Copies of this chain bind each other. A is one copy, B any other.
Amino acid sequence: MRSNSIAPLLNFSTREYAQRLKKTRSAMQAEGVDTLIVTDPSNMHWLTGYDGWSFYVHQCVVIPLDREPFWFGRGIDANGAKLTSWLSHDNIVAYPDNYVQNPECHPMEYLSTILDDRTLGKGVIGVEMDNYYFSAAAHAALVQNLPNAKFKDCTALVNWQRAVKSDQELDYMRKAGRIVEVMHARIRETIRPGIRKNDLVAEIYDAGLRGVAGIGGDYPAIVPLLPSGAEASASHLTWDDKPMRSGEGTFFEIAGCHKRYHCPLSRTVFLGKPNQKFLDAEKAVLEGLQEGLLQAKAGNVCEDIANGFFAVLKKNGIIKDSRTGYPIGLSYPPDWGERTMSLRLGDKSELKEGMTFHFMTGLWFDDWGLEITESIVIGANGPELLSNVPREVFVV
């Protein structure tokens, strides 16, 4: 596949990248797509190895059916593409810097010319209409500048190919699971009334980055979420620099990350004595989680897990109307989910061995919240838990 002098450090074998490309091309053919423009940084990485915090400018990987893909990005990121992807240097194509954040000209105009030069500016071009970083302006620039092409929405086409994980991917995710274990252990060791939230976050990052047993930590695609008390009624608040108070519950939604692979896991800590409704909710979540896990096996469908969980909640008088999980794996900000399946009613996607999910059993009430979750691998007869953290509300 490659004939360059400097060998990049890849996280997977070239054989695995070739298989990924093959699967993607089969999916393209099934959709009648001649050329696919991949803008989601997770998909770019999965297909080519490309890594770097450059997704704040326009970039993509272009997949023709019959030729090596090419990376397209900003000039100062081209060396990064050479260092991290298996692509030959001929297929690392940069746009000039004056196209960066310039209302006068758009990088996708430049890409249109490149596509025409490579005789790819015609036929059916697939674009990820609703994946991250493919803006409305990017789409408009392509449509305007490629009058001979037909565009087809291929949102999540590549994401779906990622659903069943390879052995190497599972290895990285299990390592991320080891990391999230030490992150939660650090919380239990350091949390106390009076500790400032930001200092506790420093402990979480320290544990997550140093990792465990020689396994170093990468940055998770979402920062720690750790709202307390009434703020825990909101699902996505981050932190401030105020001291933590007694009499409040705090959930910690965090992830271990290794080589961009994630293991999210939430636990809840209560400083002081939790009231009865808190304890009742804990009991319902733990029982429901167990019931959902029983459904997490190959051959079942996504909603089976949700139904298992929701049924126990309902029995306990709790209605949850948000989805209760999503696939996980390789990711970049802003989301560690894969945005294909959802664990919710009506999702009949078949569970297959090697699929990985965050079983997101969080509850958010009017003025408090509680999260105790698990990340799992679907097995033939039941799930493998990606990490082992005491499944309880930790009371200090």
Interface residues of A (CB under 8 A from B): 6, 9, 51-56, 75-77, 79-80, 82-84, 96-98, 100-103, 106, 127, 129-140, 153, 155-156, 196-199, 201-202, 205-206, 209-211, 214-219, 222-223, 225, 230-231, 233-241, 321-323, 326, 333-335, 337, 339, 342, 344, 346, 364, 366
Q: Are A238 and B52 in contact (CB under 8 A)?
A: yes
Q: Are A237 and B136 in contact (CB under 8 A)?
A: no
Q: Are A342 and B102 in contact (CB under 8 A)?
A: yes
A333 vs B41: C-alpha distance when bound (angstroms): 14
Q: Are B206 and A101 in contact (CB under 8 A)?
A: no
Q: Min CB distance, A5 to chain B, in Å?
A: 11
Main secondary structure of the interface of A (DSSP, over half): loop
**What would 15 more interface pairs be, CB under 8 Å, given A100-B323, A134-B135, A205-B206?**
A6-B230, A54-B236, A77-B235, A83-B234, A84-B237, A98-B346, A130-B135, A132-B135, A136-B140, A137-B153, A139-B139, A198-B218, A206-B206, A216-B240, A219-B238
Identical chains bound together, number: 2
Can you name the residue of chain B whose Cβ is closest to the Cβ of A55?
A: B334
Contacts of A210 in B (CB 8 A): 198-199, 202
Q: Please, could you name 6 A-B residue pairs with CB atoms under 8 Å apart, sorted by A?
A: A56-B222, A56-B335, A129-B137, A130-B135, A132-B135, A215-B241
Contacts of A103 in B (CB 8 A): 155-156
Looking at the complex, which one of B130, B131, B198 makes contact with A216 (CB distance below 8 Å)?
A: B198
Q: Are A79 and B233 in contact (CB under 8 A)?
A: yes
Q: Min CB distance, A27 to chain B, in Å?
A: 15
Known contacts A80-B236, A198-B217, A241-B216: does B130 contact A97 (CB below 8 Å)?
A: no
Known contacts A137-B130, A234-B83, A326-B101: does B205 contact A202 (CB below 8 Å)?
A: yes
Contacts of A326 in B (CB 8 A): 101
Q: Min CB distance, A363 to chain B, in Å?
A: 10
A218 vs B223: C-alpha distance when bound (angstroms): 10
A290 vs B98: C-alpha distance when bound (angstroms): 24
A53 vs B311: C-alpha distance when bound (angstroms): 29
Q: Min CB distance, A165 to chain B, in Å?
A: 19
Contacts of A134 in B (CB 8 A): 135-136
* Most chain B beta carbons < 10 A, residue from A98, A135, A321, A333: A135
Q: Min CB distance, A262 to chain B, in Å?
A: 13
Looking at the complex, which one of B77, B102, B130, B234 makes contact with A52 (CB distance below 8 Å)?
A: B234
Contacts of A222 in B (CB 8 A): 53, 56
Contacts of A218 in B (CB 8 A): 198, 238-239
Known contacts A52-B236, A225-B53: does B342 contact A101 (CB below 8 Å)?
A: yes
Q: Min CB distance, A91 to chain B, in Å?
A: 17
Contacts of A215 in B (CB 8 A): 241
A215 vs B241: C-alpha distance when bound (angstroms): 7
Contacts of A201 in B (CB 8 A): 209
Can you name the residue of chain B whose Cβ is closest to the Cβ of A207?
A: B202
Known contacts A56-B334, A222-B53: does B202 contact A79 (CB below 8 Å)?
A: no
A230 vs B82: C-alpha distance when bound (angstroms): 11
Q: Are A97 and B322 in contact (CB under 8 A)?
A: yes
Contacts of A211 in B (CB 8 A): 198, 241
Q: Min CB distance, A328 to chain B, in Å?
A: 13
Can you name the residue of chain B whose Cβ is closest to the Cβ of A140?
A: B129
Q: Are A96 and B321 in contact (CB under 8 A)?
A: yes
Q: Are A209 and B205 in contact (CB under 8 A)?
A: yes
A322 vs B97: C-alpha distance when bound (angstroms): 5
